[in-house]
Amino acid sequence: MKVALVTGSYNYIADGVALTLNRMVGFLESQGVEVLVFAPVGKVPAFAHNGEVIPVFSIAAPGRGEYRAALGLSRPARDRLLAFKPDILHIATPDLLGHAAQKLGQKMGWPIVASYHTRFETYLKYYGLRGLTPLLTGIVRNFYDACLEIYVPSPSMIDVLRADGVKGELRLWPRGVDTVRFHPGKRSEAWRAERGVGPDEVVIAFVSRLVKEKRVAEVAAVLARLKASGVAHRALFVGDGPERGFLEQHVPGAIFEGYLNGDTLAVAYASSDVFLFPSDTETFGNVTLEAMASGLPAVCANATGSRSLVEPGVTGFLAEVGDDGALYDAVAALAIDPALRRRMGRAGRERSLTYSWDAAMGGLLARYEALARA
């Protein structure tokens, strides 16, 4: 089998989309599938990627220079795709590149599938472009309705797409977590001591890109209120992005680890005590699942992705989007109650064990095979 993956993010930045797609390509190749990836690239890859990448023409995204905006299929990339003759054309991003690939695939009669990774329409409100939401929602709806199948990471996201009018064949493609790497046993008192964390301080972790759409301002507000209330804690930020300066200013004394991966990331999770993640733009929430696998109770927004992972009162708490008070109450309750943290952390760990990468990727390959046979 030959699969062509077309995506706006693959190896120039280590975001959730790129890491998930790299894991997918690695799995497919391990099963004997030939894969070509068509994606924008940077001057230097952000990490060692899987598969062969065919570069497409792109520019720095306006206002967000760390991202690349692909401007379609260049002639060399188009010729390579035509010569490859994929059994499945998988498009991961409904951008100009994705639309160009979809148009070519329709002309050639290739089976076209798509995966849903990013709630682009929800980003607009954070950058003063809320008025464009209906237009973007319509473009996304038309794009997905032209695909044979759309692979969606969480049941809550399927509900949203149906409400937005997507009529195509939506199939659940959940994510997984490496429960050997992300494990409560990775907790390190030495790690905490090296960062000056006191024995009575509760480490509240935020792991993600430091960008507006992850609601970092809300994180800062909750942490400031904890400080004002005298709740002993230390804030931990893992990740980087344009809002780091804002957080350094508004959360003095916080620990900033920058981007981490592998075992260093696993130690940071397990050496924390509470996971705080109020983002309302997630389609799944890989970081939430990693935190749960590491034995942390999770306090998240009652939004897509998070509400499919966090069981309120069992593995953590959910707060309505924008309700700083509810977030504060949940984090404060966990910070002052070690027994509650332990109970919810154990429950989160147990829930994480039901998410297997092999099962998720194997299910996707089975869909490819069925469509190729048809």
Domain boundaries along the sequence of the chain: 2-176+356-373, 184-352
- Sorting pLDDT into bands at 50, 70 and 90, what band is 121? low
pLDDT value of residue 149: 97
Top CATH class of 2-176+356-373 equals: alpha beta
Strands (E), 141-292: 149-152, 170-172, 202-207, 233-238, 255-258, 274-277
Helix axes 338-352, 286-293, angle to 10 degrees: 110
pLDDT of 373 higher than 80? yes
Average pLDDT, the chain: 93
- Sorting pLDDT into bands at 50, 70 and 90, what band is 374? confident
Cα–Cα distance, 256 to 269 (Å, whole number): 13
Contact 216, 247 (CB under 8 A): yes
Q: Which CATH superfamily groups domain 184-352?
A: Glycogen Phosphorylase B; (3.40.50.2000)
Taking only the tens place, the pLDDT of each residue in 262-274 is: 999 999 999 999 9
Taking only the tens place, the pLDDT of each residue in 332-369 is: 999 999 999 999 999 999 999 999 999 999 999 999 99
Mean pLDDT of 153-176: 92
Mean pLDDT of 237-252: 96
- Decide whether 2-176+356-373 matches 184-352 in CATH topology: yes
User: Which two tokens mark 119?
Assistant: 């709630």
C-alpha distances in angstroms, 301 versus 160, 220, 320? 15, 15, 6
pLDDT value of residue 139: 83
pTM recorded for the entire structure: 0.86
